[in-house]
Amino acid sequence: MACPILDKNAPWAHGISHTFTLDSDGIFTGHVHPPGEALRHDPSSNVVDNNQMFIRCTNRNMRGRCRGLLCASSNMPFDKYTVGSTFHPQLILVMGISANLDGTITYHYYKWKGIGSYDSVADAMATLKKPIPYIRETFERTLYKSNHGDIHLAYLNQVSGVTFACLNQQVHC
C-alpha cells in the first residue's frame, strides 16, 4: 500500500483524530492530530510504507465469519489524550463481547506479543501466510477478559503498510 500523506490544511476535518502505527519492529504507537489535519491518499506516490498505519473506525459491522477485530486498547479514554501527543496503547484482537443480565459488558481478546524471532512484521506475515498461524505466533495464547470501562477500545481500519493477515476469511486450522 502507498504511504498516505498527512494533510495539515484540511479545513473539512473537524475535531481531533487518532492514527495508530505498527512499525516494522512491532512497536504500536498512537498519535492525536488536531482539527484541520487529515490523512489523504496520493495516487501518484511511489512511496511504499513498511509501517502499518491504522485509523480509528466507528463502523464495526462485519459480514461473514469474523476471526477477530483489531483494536487499540487503553486504560484511559482515547478522548483524554491531548492534541499532539504520542502514546503506546495495547494492540489487541477482540474475539467477542458478552453481556450479563446486570448490564456488565465484557471484552474477550488476545494481546499483541510482537514479532518474535522474525526481522519485521512484513517478514512474519510473509512466512506465516495463513491468518490462524500468524495470529497464534504474534498474539499471546491467553484469552483475556476485561469489563467495559476498565479498558477503552478504538476499533481499527488499516490504511497503509503491508496488509494485515485477513481476519475474516474462513480458514480451517
139: burial class by Cβ within 10 Å (0-12, 13-18, 19+)? buried
Q: Tell me if residue 125 falls in helix, strand or coil.
A: helix
Whole-number pLDDT of residue 44:
64
Nearest to residue 63, comparing CAs of 170, 171, 152?
Answer: 170
Neighbours of 4 (CB within 10 A): 20
Q: 148 in helix, strand or coil? A: strand
Rounded distance, CA 2 to CA 10, Å? Answer: 20
Low-confidence stretches of the chain (pLDDT beneath 70): 1-3, 5, 7, 40, 42-49, 59-67, 164-173
CB 58 within 8 A of CB 154: no
Q: For residue 43, what pLDDT is reported?
A: 64
The reported pLDDT for the residue numbered 2 is 58
What is the per-residue pLDDT across 93-138, written as a single tens digit (0 to 9) for each? 998 888 889 988 999 999 999 888 888 888 888 888 777 788 888 8
The cell numbers describing 20, all together, are 495508530
CB 50 within 8 A of CB 161: yes
User: What long-range pairs does 16-19 form, CB within 8 A, spacing at least 24?
Assistant: 16/79, 16/83, 17/55, 17/56, 18/55, 18/56, 18/72, 18/78, 18/81, 18/154, 19/53, 19/54, 19/55, 19/56
H-run or E-run covering 108: strand 105-111
Q: Give which of 160, 133, 123 is closest to 21, Cα–Cα.
A: 160
pLDDT at 37: 74
